[in-house]
Amino acid sequence: MSATEPDHTSGSTAERSVDALVEELRARVEARRRSGEFPPGLEEDLEQHFRHIATPPRARSALRSRVDGLRNASAFAAERISTASRLRVGSMFHRAVARIAHRQTQGVLMQVAEYAAQVQRALDEMTTAIESLGGASEMAQQVESLYALVVEQQRALNAQRSDLLDVIDRRLRAPRPVEAATEEFRPWYGNERFEAVFRGSRRDLLARYRDLAERFVGCAPVLDMGFGRGELLELLGDLGVDARGVESDPALVEQAQEQGFDAVLDDGNVYLRTVADGSIGGLALMQVIEHLTAQQLVDLVALAARKVRPGGRVIMETVNPQSLYVFARSFYLDPTHVRPVHPGYLEFLFREAGFTAVEIDWRNPPRDRDILHEVPGDDPAARQINANIANVNALLFAPQDYALIATR
C-alpha cells in the first residue's frame, strides 16, 4: 500500500480490537465476581462503562458532522430574511418595513448570534473531549440535547419571522386610504375635456396665468410639470422663455407636440430626478401638488432645492384650503385630488429647504354673486353687521387658489 493510498481497513480493525478487549474484560470481571472480589453493584457500573467504550467511531463522526452543520447554519443576518410575498406590492412593502425595522432586527440577530456562538464553542469543546476519550454516551446525550435546543430556538425564530410576514400580508389586504392605494386611475373620459368643463377655457387660463409666466422672465430654462393643455408653455414661448413640459397623459403630450411645444411623456417627479443639479432656472406646477401624497410633496421640494440654480424661481399654484367655498365648489370635483396643501405649511417647506424669498399670491376669488354683501348704513348696528359679514366672507369665501413663489 502506498503512502497516499487511504487505509480502508483501519476503522474495522480498530473496532475488532476494541471488541476483543471488551470480551476479555468481561471474562475477567465474571471470574472475580464469582470469587466474591467485587462489591455489590459494581457489575452494573462496569457494564455501563463497557457500553461507553464500545461506542462506535461512526457515532462520534456523526456527532462531529452535526456540530459542523450547526456552525454553517449559525450565520445570522438581516439580509437572509426573505422579503418575498404572495401579493403584487408585498415584496416592496416588506423591503420598506425591513428598512424601518433594520436597527431592531439587527439587534435581535446580534443577540441570537452571540448565543449561538457560545453554544457552538461548548459543543466544539465537548465533541473534542468525546473524541479524545474514545466515546462517552452520557456526554454525547448532553451534546445531542444542546443541539436539539439550538435547533428548536432556530425553529422558533423562523416561526416569529413567518408570523410577522403574515401580519404584513393581512394589513396589505385590508382597505387602505387613497394615499396608500396602488391601483392606477384610468378614466374613460379625456383629461382635456375634463379641464375644459371644470377649469375653464384655454382663453380663460391664458389670461389667468399671464402674470405668473412673466415672473419666469430671466429664469430659463423652465420646467413645467403637469402642463395640462399647455397654456403656460404657450405664454412662456410668447415671452421668449425657453421651457419644457412634462406630462403623464399621452394624449396631452401628443397634442402639445403637435402645437410645437417641447413636451415629454413621463412622471414629473421621476423626470425631475434625472435633471442635473442646478441646471434649471424655473420650475412650474399649476394645480399639481394637491394630487401628491405628503411624502411626494416633501421629496419634490427637496428636489427643487437641488435642481433649481441660485436665483432661480419655483411657482406652485394650488387650491386654497382656507376657503370653505373650495370644498363645496371645486376640490372634490377632481377624483384624483389627494389632499389640499395649507399655504403656511408649503411656505414652511420652502424656507426649510433653503429658498431665500417666499411669497404667497392669493388668486381666483369666488364669484361676486356667491359672497355675502354688506348692508347699507353707517350706524353702529350696520357697522357690526358688516364686520360680521366680512369675517364670514373671509372664512367661507376666501380666494379659491393661491400661488407660492419661491426664489432660490
- The model carries a pTM of 0.54
Residue 242 CA to residue 239 CA, distance in Å, equals 9
- Helices 191-198 and 250-258 pack at an angle, to 10 degrees, of 80
CA 128 from centroid of its chain's CA atoms = 47
Fold of 191-407: Rossmann fold (3.40.50)
Sign of torsion over alpha carbons 47, 49, 53, 54: positive
Query: What pLDDT sits at residue 135?
Result: 46
Query: What pLDDT sits at residue 273?
Result: 95
C-alpha cell at 264: 415629454
Query: What pLDDT sits at residue 311?
Result: 96
H-type alpha helices, 288-329: 294-307, 324-329
DSSP reduced 3-state for 363: strand
Could you tell me which residues are beta bridge partners of residue 264?
246
- Cell numbers 399639481 label which residue? 288
> Residue 26: CB partners within 8 Å, gap ≥ 6?
50
Residue 140 CA to residue 55 CA, distance in Å, equals 10
pLDDT by residue, tens only, the chain of 408 residues? 444 444 444 445 545 565 676 677 677 767 766 776 655 565 566 566 555 555 555 545 566 666 666 666 555 555 555 555 554 545 554 565 555 555 555 665 666 666 667 776 777 777 676 656 554 455 556 656 655 665 666 666 666 656 555 555 555 455 444 444 456 777 787 777 777 677 778 888 899 999 999 999 999 999 999 999 999 999 999 999 999 999 998 999 999 999 999 999 999 999 999 999 999 999 999 999 999 999 999 999 999 999 999 999 999 999 999 988 888 777 878 888 888 999 999 999 999 999 999 999 999 999 888 888 988 989 888 889 889 988 888 888 889 999 999 999
Question: For the purposes of burial, counting CB atoms within 10 Å of the CB of 124, is it exposed (0-12), middle (13-18) or buried (19 or more)?
Answer: middle
CA distance to 21, 293, 295, 301, 340, per residue, from 178 (Å): 82, 9, 14, 22, 13
Query: What pLDDT sits at residue 4?
Result: 43
Phi-psi region of 59 (alpha: psi -120 to 50; beta: other; left: phi over 0): alpha
Which phi and psi angles does 315 have, rounded to 5°? Answer: -125, 125
DSSP reduced 3-state for 403: strand
Buried b / exposed e across 36-54, counting CB within 10 Å, b at 16+?
A: eeeeeeeeeeeeeeeeebe
- Helices 10-35 and 57-73 pack at an angle, to 10 degrees, of 120
Residue pair 192/229 in contact (Cβ under 8 Å)? The answer is yes
Residue 373 CA to residue 325 CA, distance in Å, equals 16
pLDDT tens, residue by residue, 1-25 = 444 444 444 445 545 565 676 677 6
Span(s) in the chain for CATH 3.40.50.150: 191-407
pLDDT tens, residue by residue, 80-97 = 555 555 545 455 545 655
Query: What pLDDT sits at residue 308?
Result: 98
The mean pLDDT of the chain is 77
Question: For the purposes of burial, counting CB atoms within 10 Å of the CB of 6, is it exposed (0-12), middle (13-18) or buried (19 or more)?
Answer: exposed
